[in-house]
Chain A
Amino acid sequence: MTLSFGFDLSLAVLTLAVAGYAIGARESFASVVAFISYGVLLALVWVRLSAVDVALTEAAIGSGVTGALLIGAAAKVGEGAVDAPRSVRGAGRLLTALFCIATTLGIATAFLSLPEKAPTLAPLAAEHLPSTGLGNPVTAVLLSYRAIDTLLESVVLVFAVVGVWTFASDRDWGGRPESPGKDRPEQPLTFLGQILPPLGILVGVHLVWTGATEPGGAFQGGTVLAAAWILVMAAGLRKPPSIEGAWLRFALIGGPALFLGVGVAGFALAKAFLAYPEGHSKAFILVIEAALTFSIAIALGLLALGAPGRKGHP
């Protein structure tokens, strides 16, 4: 057993243990906290799997924003009634456990039965990389080879925002989501809110810019921007926006709309939907990424803020 494998093994065991605690914890608040630490550990695992892009995304979205969302929900919802229904007991619990073990064993069997020489698209992706003008193959997959998935994914975020909004009450429509912070934020938070956002914007822009060649990209950059925005609101420096605001709507759909527009323009400019003119791929991709980053930041922020409420209140 090499040292690196030893590290991987202990990391895996630790990750599983934290995940197990997140599942089995008594209180939902503890469970959510465990889930956030689990996300951080998972990001480490991704680094060990040579997937820095994914690690960044996992840390930013999978752990960070999701964690914030869940913590907020746990604070609002609490543990519920004391005599909470424990829906599965005794034999049912055992049976469920058996099914779950069977599922795990099945997946493990499938994974272990995979051919020794793994089928891969890496050579193809590497071969076509120069024609995209990009250095990062993951970005090439996201924005060129499988651009349709990324386009639809950015649209999924918009769908989710609409969905979240429709869970508001009728009378709250047109209002603002609740501010993520307290009514009177503490001094340190205000300070952070003043200091960190410019830094966040810098980091976010950097992530997008380097995404073309190095790990990073629109989603990671967007998350950082979203985090900065949320922090500003939490610090009480800005109010959450009204969901009817024209600029907000425009900012929300701008990225996907631009992406879609470039895609349709591809019919004329590059002879295919979502193709880029030869030799100008990188420029187009950077413009799309910039717009997407901004819209993603808005969408993630709105998703984290939740449904509008408190119409007419400050």
Chain B
Amino acid sequence: MNDAALALSTFAYGPQTLAAALGAPLVLMLACASARLRRFGPAYLVVAPLFALAACVLASDSGPLVLDQMIYPIVLVLDPPGALLLGVTSLLWLAAGIFAASSMRDETESGAFVAFWLATLVGNIGVFMAADVASFYLFFALVSLPAYGLIVAQARMADSAGGLYVSVALLGEAFLILAFALLASATPDHSLLISDGVDALPASPWRDATIGLLIAGFGTKIGLLPLHVWMPSTYRAAPVAAAAVLSGGAVNAGVIGLVRFFPWGHAVPVWGEALVVLGMSAAFYGVAIGLTQRNPKTMLAYSSISQMGLVAATLGAGLVAGNKGAAAGAALYAAHHGLAKGGLFLAVGVLSGCGTLRMRRLTPFVGLLALSLAGLPFSGGVIAKLAIKQPLGDGLLGALSTLSAIATTLLMLHFLRRVAALAEPRVSNPGWALITPMFAMIAASIMAPTAYYFAIENHRLVSLDAALFWESLWPILVGALIAAAARRWLERLPALPEGDVGAFAARPFGLFARGGAAADRGEIILRRWPVAAGALMVVAIMISGMGVLKP
């Protein structure tokens, strides 16, 4: 197995495979412009991610693909964390693509949806491959902005959700372009390679500003406190398949960003500690707010905030200690989260259309997926927890990590109860085209992290280790006990507004509107002839005066 992987990894056509992985969805997206080709749109959703899936095997650690016929040459390469995240992400896109293709009804409206889907896919694939700042920014923008079209595709009430999403995404873009400009300016020859920028970062005069902007920029993507406000309404408003790829795939663009751009090996205590505090707060805050929610999709969103908080805390701990292992651990954790969370969203889609009987049969499998997030023994979750154990250490952070597993169990069990409440005695059950992708994700979330762990770390069957088995089981048991005990109480929790603090942040917009009215009045004055002509003279006098009146 290992030898085969090794042989494949030096596959001679690696760079070309990378090009195919990006090119396929791009070409299919352009095909959507033609009315004749648009009819096959649903099929594109299934075909497009296949090339990326192939690439993560064939092109891993192969040579780079360099396209230097542009002002900014594009350099694409697939390193191990990139390949891991690309693999799970393209798997998720494939499953969600099948789900979306099967649930697509309206032919006329599907064209735009497919185009937005494929554009987001291009960004999501590219972001794991980009080795230079310019193309990374391009792919990051692609994975962020076209998703707007996915979010507003379905719900009429989605307007505000889409607006919030795109505002935060653009804010992230603004943070990132500043960070990247700083990063590139600090390299001796203004190289645009990410590796050059990161190498020069510790000695950069703008080190702290750069890292702060990076955290803020990628924080918008992973929903770092307090930039998480967009997540709940976005995932709730988006169609199930879109929510699956956004929560499981697009969010990893933020993770890979932090992994790629942090100067691993150099301790940056201040920002590292800030990240740890924000991340750990989010880990519990997400659960706390999530428990009060009614909508299962919103609950999953809050679970994402909590899980990404753990990822951020892991990366922060690594940054404090200058620990390179944190990046790999966080990537593995995020990979598992992506599979599980994507699967859970698909599950919501499946279960919400189920009759009572079918629901009863399917719920245990969904429960497996849900508890995998908390680190259920034999699931991929154990591997994920194991991966962040070392960077977090045995101290306070380790304890908090265990505590968060209890909290996650609580939230997930509550989630299952809420989902079960959706069941109605109905005749029509979802077809196998919808159920299969969900099962595929369940299988993948259990097997993929384990397989990867063995391939990379060459470990024996860790999950059979008795100590580890117990260590991962007891938090789940505790969580389950609490859930059972506090069941009534949980049901009666008041529903907090979706988006929590974000709901209160709308107030400044009123102020802005008032400022806008003042701007209107000012404009009317400025555009009066005497004022404008006077301003013209003032400009002339000012420029002339700069020299004439100089002492």
Name A's B-contacting residues (CB within 8 A): 87-88, 92, 95-96, 99-100, 102-103, 106, 109
Instruction: Decide if B512 is an interface residue (CB 8 Å cutoff).
Output: no
Looking at the complex, which one of B528, B541, B548 makes contact with A99 (CB distance below 8 Å)? B541
Task: Check if B541 sits within 8 Å of A95, measured CB to CB.
Answer: no
Contact with A along B224-243 (1 / 0, CB 8 A): 00000000000000000000
B510 contacts chain A at the CB level, 8 A cutoff: no
Q: Which residues of B contact A106 (CB under 8 A)?
A: 541, 544, 548
Q: Check B541–A88 contact: CB distance below 8 A.
A: no
Q: Which 6 A-B pairs have the closest CB atoms?
A: A99-B537, A88-B530, A87-B530, A106-B544, A102-B541, A103-B537
Known: A87-B528, A87-B529, A109-B548. A103 touches B534 (CB 8 A): no
A-B contact pairs, 11 of them (CB 8 A): A87-B528, A87-B530, A88-B530, A96-B530, A99-B537, A99-B538, A100-B537, A103-B537, A106-B541, A106-B544, A109-B548
Residues of B within 8 A of A103 (CB): 537, 540-541
Minimum Cβ distance to chain A for residue B397 (Å): 66
Query: Least Cβ distance of B535 to chain A in Å?
Result: 10
By beta carbon, the residue of chain B nearest A103 is B537
Q: Which residues of A contact B530 (CB under 8 A)?
A: 87-88, 92, 96
**What is the CB-to-nearest-CB distance from A91 to chain B, in angstroms, rounded to a whole number?**
12
Given contacts A102-B537, A103-B541, A106-B544, 19 further A-B contacts (CB under 8 A): A87-B528, A87-B529, A87-B530, A88-B530, A92-B530, A95-B534, A96-B530, A96-B534, A99-B534, A99-B537, A99-B538, A99-B541, A100-B537, A102-B541, A103-B537, A103-B540, A106-B541, A106-B548, A109-B548
Min C-beta distance of A231 to chain B, whole Å: 37
Interface membership of chain B positions 509-546, coded 1 if the CB is closer than 8 angstroms to chain A and 0 otherwise: 00000000000000000001110001001101100100
Chain B positions 155-209 with a Cβ under 8 Å from a chain A Cβ: none
Residues of B near any A CB (own CB < 8 A): 528-530, 534, 537-538, 540-541, 544, 548
Interface SS of chain A: helix
CB distance from A99 to the nearest CB of B (A): 5
| Interchain CA distance A139-B149 in the complex, whole Å | 67
> Which residues from A are CB-within-8-Å of B544?
106
Name the residue of chain A whose CB is nearest to the CB of B536: A99
CB neighbours (8 Å) of A102 from chain B are 537, 541
CB-based nearest A residue for B538: A99
Q: In whole angstroms, what is the CA distance A109 to B538 when docked?
A: 17
CA distance A96 to B541 in the complex (A): 13
B residues near A96, Cβ cutoff 8 Å: 530, 534
**A47 CA / B246 CA spacing, docked (Å):** 82
Smallest CB separation, B543 vs chain A (Å): 11
Q: For residue B246, give the distance in angstroms from its CB to the closest CB of chain A.
A: 54
Q: What's the Cα separation between A1 and B108 when bound, in Å?
A: 92
The residue of chain B having its C-beta at the shortest distance from the C-beta of A106 within the complex is B544
Tell me the complex Cα distance, A103–B537, Å: 8
Neighbouring A residues of B537 by C-beta, 8 Å? 99-100, 102-103
- By a CB distance below 8 angstroms, the chain A residues around B540 are 103
Give chain B nearest CB distance to A185 CB in angstroms.
39
Q: Determine the chain A residues whose CB is within 8 A of the CB of B548 once the complex forms.
A: 106, 109
Least Cβ distance of A88 to chain B in Å?
5
Report Cα–Cα, A109/B534, bound state, in Å: 21
CA distance A96 to B544 in the complex (A): 18
A42 to chain B: closest CB distance in Å? 24
Specify the chain A residue showing the minimal Cβ separation from B537.
A99
Note all chain B residues with C-beta closer than 8 A to A100: 537
Considering the chains assembled together, what is the distance between the CA atoms of A106 and B548 in angstroms?
9
A-side contacts of B538, CB under 8 Å: 99
Task: Name the residue of chain B whose CB is nearest to the CB of A93.
Answer: B530
Find chain B residues with CB under 8 A from A99 CB.
Answer: 534, 537-538, 541
Bound CA span A103–B548, Å:
13
Distance (whole angstroms) from the CB of A101 to the closest CB of chain B: 11
Q: Name which residue of chain A comes closest to B531, CB basis.
A: A92
How far, in angstroms, from A102 to B537 measured CA to CA in the complex? 9
Closest-CB distance, B150 to chain A (whole angstroms):
49
CB distance from B528 to the nearest CB of A (A): 7
Kindly state the separation between the CA atoms of A306 and B534 in the bound complex, as whole angstroms: 31
Min distance, Cβ B545 to any Cβ of chain A, angstroms:
8
Residue of B nearest to A109 (CB): B548
- Cα A67 to Cα B548 with chains together (Å): 38
Using CB atoms, name the residue of chain B closest to A99: B537
Chain B residue contacts of A92, Cβ below 8 A: 530
- A89 CB to nearest B CB, Å: 10
Whole-angstrom CA separation of A229 from B528 in the bound complex: 41
* Contacting residues, chain B, for A87 (C-beta < 8 A): 528-530
A24 CB → nearest B CB, Å: 16
Q: How far is the CB of A100 from chain B (nearest CB, A)?
A: 7
Report the Cα distance A115→B335, complex, angstroms: 77
Residue of B530, B541, B548 with most partner-chain A CB within 10 A: B530
Hey, which chain B residues are within 8 Å of A109, CB to CB? 548
B299 to chain A, nearest CB (A): 63
Interchain nearest-CB distance for A243 vs B (Å)? 32
- The residues of A that contact B534 with a CB separation of less than 8 Å are 95-96, 99
In the bound complex, CA of A106 to CA of B541 (Å): 8
A111 to chain B, nearest CB (A): 13
A6 nearest CB across to chain B (Å):
33
* A88 to B531 alpha-carbon distance, docked (Å): 9
Chain A residue with minimal CB distance to B528? A87
Bound-state CA distance A88–B529 (Å) is 10
Q: Which residue of A lies closest to B530 (CB)?
A: A88
- Which of B528, B537, B538 lies at the interface centre, i.e. has the most chain A CB atoms within 10 A of its CB? B537
Q: Compute how far the CA of A109 lies from the CA of B541 in the bound complex, rounded to whole angstroms.
A: 13
What residues on B are CB-neighbors of A95 within 8 Å? 534
Cβ–Cβ < 8 Å partners of A88 in chain B? 530
B241 to chain A, nearest CB (A): 56
State the CA gap A103–B534 with chains docked (Å): 11
Q: How far is the CB of B320 from chain A (nearest CB, A)?
A: 61
Measured between C-beta atoms, what is the minimum distance from B531 to chain A in Å?
Answer: 9
CA distance A106 to B537 in the complex (A): 12
Closest Cβ of chain B to A158, distance in Å, is: 29
Minimal Cβ-Cβ distance residue in A for B544: A106
Bound complex: CA A92 to CA B528 (Å): 12
A99 and B544 CA atoms in complex are apart in Å by 13
Instruction: Give the docked Cα–Cα distance between A103 and B544 (Å).
Output: 10
B541 cross-chain contacts in A, Cβ below 8 A: 99, 102-103, 106
Give complex CA distance A292, B538 in Å. Answer: 41
What's the minimum C-beta distance from B110 to chain A, rounded to whole angstroms? 47
Q: Tell me the complex Cα distance, A180–B538, Å.
A: 42
Residue of A nearest to B541 (CB): A102
CA gap between A88 and B548 in the complex, in Å: 29
Q: In the assembly, what is the distance between CA of A218 and CA of B528, in Å?
A: 41
Who on chain B is nearest to A89 by CB? B530
Question: For the complex, what is the distance from the CA of A102 to the CA of B545, rounded to whole Å?
Answer: 10
How many angstroms between the C-alpha atoms of A103 and B545 in the bound complex? 11
Tell me the complex Cα distance, A186–B87, Å: 97
A189 shortest CB reach to chain B, Å: 39
CA distance A99 to B540 in the complex (A): 10
How many Å from the CB of A84 to the closest CB on chain B?
Answer: 14
Q: How far is the CB of B228 from chain A (nearest CB, A)?
A: 53
Q: How far is the CA of A87 from the CA of B544 in the complex (A)?
A: 28
Residues of A contacting B529 in the complex (Cβ-Cβ under 8 angstroms): 87
